[in-house]
Amino acid sequence: MNQSRPKVRRSRALGIPLTPKDVRYFERRPFPPGEHGRKRKTTSDYKTRLLEKQRLRAQYDISETQLRSAFDRAKRGGGKTGDQLITQLESRLDATVLRAGFARTIYQARQVVSHQHVVVNGQRVDRPSYKVRPGDVVAIADKSKQKPPFQVAASGAHATAPGYLEVSIADLVCRVLREPRRDEVPVVCEEQLVVEYYSR
C-alpha cells in the first residue's frame, strides 16, 4: 500500500494514527513526512497549541468552523471548558455511531449517517453533527442491517463501547445513558492547549 496515502501522511504530521490501518505505518515512521521530518525543531507555544487543535479536529473529522462553534458552546456551558469541549464533540451523532461500534473509523461513521443508515428515537437522521442527548436511542435502520459493513459491526468487530453508552451490538442499537467523562473518551488531546489556542 502506498505510504503517501493522505491519511497516513496526515497521521504522521499530527503525531497520531487517525485510522486503524494507519497504525502500522505510523509505528514504523513516527515522525512527520518530508525530508526534514526527523529533524523537527523545537516549536513555539503558538505552534504547539495549533498542532493540538489540528489533532483534535482530525480525530473528529470536522471543519474549523465546527470546532470553533463547539468551543463557543463549551465556554458558555459552565464547568471546565476543555472537558465541556470534548463532551460537545462526543455528543455528535457520528461520534456516537463510532463509539457504539457501528463503524470502524470516524470517516465511516460520518458516511453511515449521511447515507441515512441511522435512526435516532425511530427517526432517520442524516446530519453527522446532530446532537444526541442522554436517553436517546441510536440504531442502524432495519433495512440497512443486512448490508455487509453492518453485519461485520454486529459481529462485534469494532465493539469497544464506553460506559456512557448501553449497546446491544448484535441488534446494532445503543442508548445514550449520560454525558461522557473525559477519561472515557479515547481521544488523544491535551484539550487545555486547544482552549488556550482559542482564548488567545
Does residue 103 share a domain with residue 29? no
Does residue 37 share a domain with residue 96? no
Predicted confidence at residue 176, as pLDDT, reads 98
Predicted confidence at residue 1, as pLDDT, reads 39
Residue 161 lies in a domain: yes
Burial of 1 (0-12, 13-18, 19+ CB in 10 A): exposed
pLDDT > 50? residue 83: yes
pTM: 0.81
CATH code, 157: 3.10.290.10
Domain that holds residue 26: 1-41
Q: What gap in Å lies between CA 130 and CA 127, rounded to an integer?
A: 5
Predicted confidence at residue 34, as pLDDT, reads 55
Residue 69 lies in a domain: no
How much is the mean pLDDT over the chain? 88
Predicted confidence at residue 17, as pLDDT, reads 64
Asked if residues 136 and 121 have their Cβ atoms less than 8 Å apart, the reply is yes
Predicted confidence at residue 43, as pLDDT, reads 73
Q: Helix, strand, coil % (nearest 5) of the chain?
A: 50, 10, 40
Q: Would you state the cell numbers that stand for residue 171, as one nine-digit string?
A: 441488534
Residue 192 lies in a domain: no
Tens-place pLDDT, residues 151-184 = 999 999 987 889 999 999 999 999 999 999 999 9
Locus of grid cell 473509523: 105
Residue 123 lies in a domain: yes
Residue 50 lies in a domain: no
Question: How many domains would you assign to the chain?
Answer: 2
